[in-house]
Structure 1
Amino acid sequence: MLSYIKNAQPVGSHSITKHYDFGVGSATIRNIMSNLEEDGFLSHPHTSAGRIPTEKGYRFYVDTLFEEKTFLKNQSQITLEAESLVQREDASQLLQDTSKLLSDLTHYMAIVSAPKISAARINHIEFVRLRTNCIMTITVSEAGFVQNRFFDLEKDISQKSLNNISDYLNSLCKGMTLDGIRKKMSHQMEKMEDLYDHLESETFELTQQAMQGLHSRDTGELYTDGAINIFDLPDFTDIKVMKNLLKAVKEKKAVIELLDKYIGSDGVQVFIGSENRFLGRHGCSLVVSQYKRGDRVLGALGVIGPTRMDYSKVIPLVDSTAKQVSRLLEDLS
């Protein structure tokens, strides 16, 4: 396993006895490898070549790493590498830095999903009139993430009125989710019945339109780095498959859905090849972990690489980086 991960070349019995001292001869090693092949842990790509691990073999190896905590021997140095991430005033820049760090340290492709604004607690919301019947909504979450959305209004509203509405919403709904804001405004309208003033009416109508627009377009943001690295790996020789992977990363939706699927799972998760349909289609594995702010899960970060990736290095790196990002977001005011 270690030889193939390092060299990407089929491993034969003579190579094993030459580099490792198991106290047995090459014939015994060859018989053991034959048995492992029969059990589905190894495959034999060519008649005269050595063996390579199968997905089942990789799964056994990764499960053993977790059971024996083998990767912990690298934890101290990797924790220091993760701690090279520094506090940013802009939370989005922190996530971009994170994707670059993971890519630089692994030489694979790093992916980081930003929190969806529809699920975030809002610290500030502002409406900006761009032109007649068209405004921009600027929302800032408690974690410091900023998202802009544009949408058309059924009737035009002046910037002065928009400022009044922004001030009203921020005083009434700070710290709430978008759903919470919408429900709060509905409750306000019911409570006021026919007595609500013009500001309440405009605020309610604008809030309903804005919330609907934010929800319908909230696919989430994705930060990536190192996609080009996969072209340098001998594992990826099918150009069509690689182009499809890069296209999926560029379009973001499939990759965000991939990360979203594992939000809520504690600790590092490892998915190898066909264990996930998206990964299996592209011959990849994913090591992923969620990051938080306090007790609230915000998003996920991970590394996509070949099934031959160096799991003993990538697993503790993803783990340490997710914890560091969580600490930095917690400190972000």
Structure 2
Amino acid sequence: MTQLHDTTESIKGKHLTPDERAQIAILKREEYSNRQIADRLGRAPQTINNEVNRGTVQQMRRQKQNGTVYDTYYDVYDPDYAQARYMNNRRHCGRQPKWSLSDAFVDWADTQMLDHHWSPDAVIGAARQRDLFPVSLIPCTTTLYNWIDHQIMRTKNMDLTEKLHRNTKSNRRKAPDHKRKMGPSISERPAAVNTRETFGHWEIDTVIGAKHKHDAVLLTLVERQTRFEVILKIDGKAAQPVTQAVASLVERAGAHMPSLFKTITSDNGSEFSELYDTLEAVTDVYFARPFASYERGTSENQHKLIRRFIPKGQPISEISDRQIQRIQRWMNDYPRKILDYQTPHECFVKAFKQTQPAQSA
């Protein structure tokens, strides 16, 4: 009888090795039962039973007697076949990636990112919020970024404007004191504005295209709670065009001005030098510190979205009013993670309705 190394050490949870399969084959030829083999190898009897069933092949023995050929078939455990089958099963084990289950989500996600300039996070959030696909097909945001990195998607990293330009390092520096007094400082602004708990607090700023004084400029206003954006094309980066645009906006707001515009926060650019005098009678205006763009972070983030369509250096005078309206509509219909993947337009309408007095029956 062949002597094999005996072990009583528990190896629970470990897969059978090629050496163990060779030992099983030897013991089977010596007519050991599966339970006896399990005892010799320190394995569970069911493990050996399953292994023998998976690794058993049918072989043929041919004999010739008195001019007649006889074929007989018998079963035998083949360790090489068992090992090959094990390796094949290992290659196919594990959960299939979600992108391999269906093309529906991948194609839709590519369309949103390439044609509609959505971010991967907006794609995931909108798909879940609107129940567009079965949960089993929707990955997490990190996974979608990994799919893009591994070129599973048509979308490439170069198509993700935010990813290419994101800077994780802090560039903040201590802001100097005001060089000029244009109006109340942001430090005097009510603390409730910072929490975004109430509606009607806005940030105002400008976006320039070509750097020459004759080019048009975009005047932007964003409501801090809902991220609702208003974009106005004005004749230049000067106080007069800004004052005219703001006065027009106040006229359009009409009786709703007190509930729509509770405060407006601006920077210290010369184009806003008349802003306080223009709006003093209808709303509160505050000015951020110089070189402290983080105090108007909502505007800065909104401008990144605008730059997807109007890169720096492109003359704004060449952009039609209709195109600017399209950009504004896209921004207000873009699902935001910060809004639980609702759109700014949806949140703005809800918030504005809440400010209106209830209608009596």
TM bucket by the smaller chain? under 0.3
Structure scoring higher RCO (CA < 8 A, sep ≥ 6) equals 1
Higher helix share: 1
TM superposition score normalised by structure 1: 0.21
Bigger radius of gyration, 1 or 2? 2
Higher strand share: 1
TM superposition score normalised by structure 2: 0.20
